[in-house]
Amino acid sequence: MADENSSLPASSPMRQPPLDRQALERVLARAAELQGASAMPESGDLITESQLLEIGNEVGLAPAVLNQALAEERTRINVPEERGLVAQIAGAGFASATRTVPGTPRDILATIDSWMQRDECLQVQRRFADRITWEPQRGLFGKLRRTVNVSGHGYYLMDAGQVSATVLAVDASRVVVRLDADIHASRARRVGIGGFVTAMGAAASGIVGLGLVIAHLPLFIAAGAAVLPFAGSTFAGYKVARTHRGVLSSVQLALEQILDRLEHGEFERSAGLLGALASRARLPRG
């Protein structure tokens, strides 16, 4: 879990390495967007956060929006853009959501961790000062809980091989939260099933075509009849691979809903209600 220094603002120069030019441009652009400014000064290849704050002050950017932009940059993960055929058909293999919410890094991480384990059927994989990663519960209890699903919860994040939360302070009362879900394995399974269906159709087409040729039917009739199983299986395989887009949409929505609850304090109200019910249940009966 986060240590006592985790509540320091993300702009602390003693904790963070210098930013390169691309990161600087992203931070200044984001800060200008937050404040409604458009200034973009020239800079060197590397710059410290204290120097960035000085530059921001010179161009009229408020320290608060710079701290928020810096925290968002620190939570940023470089995910290569997918351009291949698989991504075009099935969709992305990675979902991500970022939001600035009220709270401290320690409290927000603890709240997210409790939700992931209790309501998303995940278990902790790794813990860091400002980041936690989870994976699906692999035991019998996790599988049984998802199969029975008495609560009606979707457990959409269990389709991810790994879910992570990164939390960095903007100031004393706000943090930037980034949630990421890696669903490459789920996509690979669906694409693999689609490919298998297509391959089976191709094999069936070959068998049908060969049988018709042996039966001395005209070649164009045999070829036409052989194309039908292949075309049908190709379409079916395509549709199977496309089902990943629904998974991606559900996972993305699940991440956004967690951030919605954090932003509006719904976790705190829920915890308060549960605590009140538990206290009432412990009262002696008259």
Residue 128 dihedral angles phi and psi, to the nearest 5°:
-130, 175
Return per-residue pLDDT of the chain as tens, 286 residues. Answer: 444 444 434 444 445 666 666 776 677 666 666 665 444 445 445 566 676 667 666 666 677 777 677 666 666 666 567 778 888 889 889 999 998 899 999 999 999 999 998 888 899 999 998 899 999 887 766 666 666 655 556 678 888 999 999 998 888 888 989 999 999 999 999 999 999 988 887 787 777 666 665 766 666 565 666 677 778 888 888 899 999 999 999 999 999 999 999 988 887 655 544 444 343 444 444 4
CB 71 within 8 A of CB 44: no
CB 5 within 8 A of CB 15: yes
Query: Rounded to a whole number, what is the distance in angstroms from the first to the last CA of the chain?
Result: 43
Question: Which residues contact residue 83 at a Cβ distance below 8 angstroms, ignoring those fewer than 6 apart?
Answer: none
Domain ranges in the chain are 4-74
Beta bridge partners of 106: none
Residue 83, classified by CB atoms within 10 Å of its CB into exposed (0-12), middle (13-18) or buried (19+), is exposed
SS3 (DSSP) at 1: coil
| Model confidence, pTM | 0.66
Residue 49, classified by CB atoms within 10 Å of its CB into exposed (0-12), middle (13-18) or buried (19+), is buried
